[in-house]
Amino acid sequence: MKRIGGYFIKLMIVLGVGVSSAAAAEKTYDIAIIGGRVIDPETGLDAVRNVGVTKGTITIVTTKDITAKTMIDAQGKVVSPGFIDLHAHGQTIPAARMQALDGVTTGLELEAGVLPVSDYYDQMAKEGRPINYGASVNWAYARIAAFLNKKPRHDIDWFFESLKEPVWQEEIATDAQQAEISALVSKGLDEGGLGVGFLLGYAPGTGRKEYYKITDLAAKAGVPTFTHARFLSMLEPESSFEGMAEIVAAAAGTGAQAHIVHMNSISLRDIDTIGEMIATAQKQGVKITTEAYPYGAGSTGIGSAMFRGPKWRERTGGMTAHNFDVGGKRLTEDEFSALQKDHPGTETVIHFLDTTTAEGQAVLDKSVLFPGGVIASDGGGWLVDGKNVSKDTWPIPENAWSHPRSAATYSSFLRHYVRETKTISVLEAIRRVSFGPAQILEDAVPQMKRKGRIQVGADADIVIFDLATVTDRATYEKPARASSGFDYVIVGGVPLVKDGILDTTVLPGQPVRNLQK
Ligand SMILES: [Zn+2]
Peptide bond into 237 cis (omega under 30): yes
Q: What is the dihedral of CA 173, 204, 333, 330, to 10 degrees?
A: -120
Percent of the chain with pLDDT over 70: 94
Q: How far is the CA of 384 from the centre of ligand 1 (A)?
A: 22
Q: pLDDT confidence of 8, banded at 50, 70, 90?
A: very low
Distance 362 CA to ligand 1 centre (A): 22
Q: Does position 19 have pLDDT exceeding 50, yes or no?
A: no
CA of 347 relative to ligand 1 center, distance in Å? 13
Residue 516: per-residue pLDDT: 66
Report how far ligand 1's centroid is from the alpha carbon of 378 (Å): 7
> What b/e sequence results for 423-462 when a residue is b if at least 16 CB atoms lie within 10 Å of its CB, and e otherwise?
ebebbebbbbbbbbbbbbbbebbebbbbbbbbeeebbbbb
Strand runs labelled E in 398-485: 462-465
Q: How far is the CA of 261 from the centre of ligand 1 (A)?
A: 7
Give the Å distance between the CA of 345 and the centre of ligand 1: 14
Residue 299 Cα, ligand 1 centroid: separation in angstroms? 8
Query: For the chain, first and last CA: distance in Å?
Result: 35
Find the 85 Cα to ligand 1 centroid distance in Å: 14
pLDDT digits (tens, 9 = 90+) for 186-216: 999 999 999 999 999 999 999 999 999 999 9
Cα of 272 to ligand 1 centre, how many Å? 20
Q: How far is CA 83 from CA 49, 78, 110, 489, in A?
A: 20, 13, 15, 10
Centre of ligand 1 from the C-alpha of residue 75, in Å: 39
Q: Is pLDDT at 147 greater than 90 in this prediction?
A: yes
Say how many Å lie between the CA of residue 367 and the centre of ligand 1: 15
Measured between alpha carbons, how far is residue 449 from residues 288, 355, 443, 467, 490 in Å? 19, 36, 8, 26, 18
- The contacts of residue 223 (CB under 8 Å, 6+ apart) are 136, 189, 193, 194, 195, 196, 257, 444, 445, 514
Residues 6+ apart with CB under 8 A from 3: none
CA–centroid distance, 269 to ligand 1, in Å, is 17
Rounded distance from Cα 457 to ligand 1 centre (Å) = 34
What integer pLDDT is reported at residue 157 of this predicted model? 84
Q: How far is the CA of 215 from the centre of ligand 1 (A)?
A: 17
Distance CA 229, CA 241 (A): 9
pLDDT tens digit sequence for 158-190: 998 898 899 999 999 999 999 999 999 999 999
Distance 23 CA to ligand 1 centre (A): 54
Read off the pLDDT of residues 426-449 as tens digits, 9 standing for 90 and up.
999 999 999 999 999 999 999 999
Separation of 298 CA from ligand 1 center, angstroms?
9
Q: How far apart are CA 440 and CA 432, in angstroms?
A: 11
- Beta-carbon contacts of 421 under 8 Å, excluding residues fewer than 6 positions away, are none
Question: What element of type H or E holds 106?
Answer: strand 104-114
201 alpha carbon to ligand 1 midpoint, in Å?
8
**Ligand 1 centroid from CA 468, angstroms:** 32
Residue 20 Cα to ligand 1 midpoint, Å, equals: 58
pLDDT reported for residue 15: 39
Q: By the 8 A CB rule, do 433 and 413 touch?
A: yes
Q: Give the integer Cα–Cα distance in Å for 447 and 419.
A: 32
The two beta strands, 196-198 and 225-227, are parallel
* pLDDT level of residue 115 (50, 70, 90 thresholds): very high
265 C-alpha vs ligand 1 centroid, how far in Å?
Answer: 9
Q: What is the pTM of this model?
A: 0.94
Q: pLDDT of 52-69, one tens digit each?
A: 999 999 999 999 999 999
Question: How far away, in angstroms, is 451 Cα from ligand 1 center?
Answer: 25
pLDDT at 390 over 80: yes
Ligand 1: centre distance to CA 301 (Å):
11
DSSP 379: B
State the alpha helices, DSSP H only, in 405-481.
Answer: 405-413, 426-430, 436-442
Distance 87 CA to ligand 1 centre (A): 9
